A and B are shown apart, each in its own frame.
Chain A
Amino acid sequence: MKKKIAVTGNEALAEALRQINPDVCAAYPITPQTDMMQRFSEFVADGLVDTELMLVESEHSAMSACIGASAGGGRVATATSGPGLALMWEMLYVASGMRCPIVMPVINRALSAPLNIHCDHSDAMGARDSGWIQLWSENAQEAYDNMIMAFRIAEHTDIRLPVMVCMDGFIISHSLGIMEFLADDVVRKFIRKFTPHEALLDINHPVSYGPLIVTDQYHEYKNAQNNIMSEVFDVASDVAAEFENISGRRYGFFETYKLEDAEIGIVILNSAAGTCKDMIDEARREGIKIGLLKPRLFRPFPYEMIAAALSHLKVICVLDRSDSFGAHAPLFVEIATSLYNCKQRPVLINRIYGLGGRDFMPEHVSGVINEMIDIAGKKIEIIPKKYISLRK
């Protein structure tokens, strides 16, 4: 039985976690992830899950405990935000290098300093090279769906890699949205039983985890990790196809919106895509041929498919909610890389928006649309990178 109700993003993810019922969950409170874990703690307190909940003393220990638990031989989840993810940084590489299929919602938050608890993508973008699969979500429904699919992708025998499910802090985590939950039994059947792999707790087959690997093997090891990442595409498509059967919702590696006949386009992640779509509808009514692309699978990154979806455009504005100071922002770099080898290349501009929770308003979208129109008409000089919505 599917039920449609109004919930916050954090409620949706806590509910997903209840349905998934991981064996161990280790977490540390950090805004805006906190109330997701609080809700899950209630499920534990009420005996609704089998999960052993470890409330550890830091995110570094949360990820370390998840690695230990995962190596132990069971299903593991955690969740974090912003500085919490930053504190985990060392262990993120260990989790992926040790092939631990841990699933972790990242409720996106800015990094200090200055201290700021609101949404931006600096946290997850800082971890983009850590060997984790990254799924990004526009709203609570997508986050919930991604979360359920994440376990199947992470635990697939050919993959066995950790997955981050990214969702915008506050904007989604704390605001109500209408969504549809799947029934418990449907979720449990979909995610399947966990199959341990060389479990540390199998005392009849003692294994040593985490050896020192010197130069004669390390390089090949990393090459293999990279190759495994490339296999995520097939697995993620298969999982999405199966998920469509149980949910009726279809997920690709990215979503396109009115892109086929478009001449200019916006590329943007997560919640701000909603505002963009509304403004695209408005622009379309005025005859402007504009579309949008919203990546969902950011790691591994589907370069060729994205190039095929975007190369026909004249101008693209890549909107980043994080920055690489003194360089182009992360999403822009990926889009530029995708298009570099195309015969015909759109003009690309990079606009930084919404850092530390700065509102992203319809007028900001119109601003970049107008700028793209002017660039297409060769009326203005191209400024490659710029912050928008700065206060005057």
Chain B
Amino acid sequence: MKTKIIDRSNCRPVITQAGNSVALKTGSWRSLEPVLLKENCTNCLLCWLYCPDMSVIVRDGKVEGFDMDYCKGCGICALECPGKKGQKAIRMRKEEKE
């Protein structure tokens, strides 16, 4: 990403493209990654609510997986997941990096 050059035409501390930080892929910060075990998931969506990085993907009220472009691997989702009958639906594992 090239930083724009400031001159008199854009010398204004305003960012007009709301939410454009999606261009910054924070997934590279991760050392652990969450893994979803769908069979244990009750779709309570607590993981979605608690994820600080908006990285739990939910479609039609169901957890689909994680957005690895942004997931920082904090593990909150895994720790907070109540799962089914004491069996968590998310666990963290060491990420294999090329």
Contact = CB atoms under 8 A, between A and B. Distances in A.
A99 B11 contact: yes
Nearest to B6: A220
The SS class assigned to the B binding surface is loop
Interface in A191-222: 198, 205-211, 213, 216-217, 220-221
A216 B6 CA distance: 10
B14 interface: yes
Interface in A205-251: 205-211, 213, 216-217, 220-221, 223-225, 227-228, 231
Contact of B3 (A97, A198, A217, A223): A217
B14 A228 contact: no
What class of interface size applies to chain A in its complex with B?
A: 20 to 34
A98 interface: yes
B8 A211 contact: no
B12 interface: yes
A198 B11 contact: no
Interface string B3-26: 111111011111110100000000
Contact of B13 (A213, A223, A227, A231): A213
Contacts of B4: 217
A160 B8 CA distance: 11
Contacts of A221: 6, 11, 13
Residue among A205, A221, A227 having the largest count of chain B Cβ atoms under 10 Å: A221
Contacts of A224: 6-8, 10-11
Contacts of B3: 216-217
Residue among A97, A220, A227 having the largest count of chain B Cβ atoms under 10 Å: A220
A299 B6 CA distance: 22
A98 B13 contact: yes
A227 B6 CA distance: 12
A217 B6 contact: yes
B8 A198 contact: no
A295 B10 CA distance: 31
Given A98-B13, A211-B13, A217-B5, 18 more contacts: A97-B13, A98-B12, A99-B13, A160-B12, A198-B14, A207-B18, A208-B18, A209-B14, A211-B15, A216-B3, A221-B6, A223-B6, A224-B6, A224-B7, A224-B10, A224-B11, A228-B8, A231-B8
Interface of B: 3-8, 10-16, 18
Interface of A: 97-99, 160, 198, 205-211, 213, 216-217, 220-221, 223-225, 227-228, 231
* In the complex, the 8 A-B pairs of residues with the closest C-beta atoms, listed nearest first: A224-B11, A220-B6, A206-B18, A208-B15, A221-B6, A224-B8, A227-B8, A216-B3
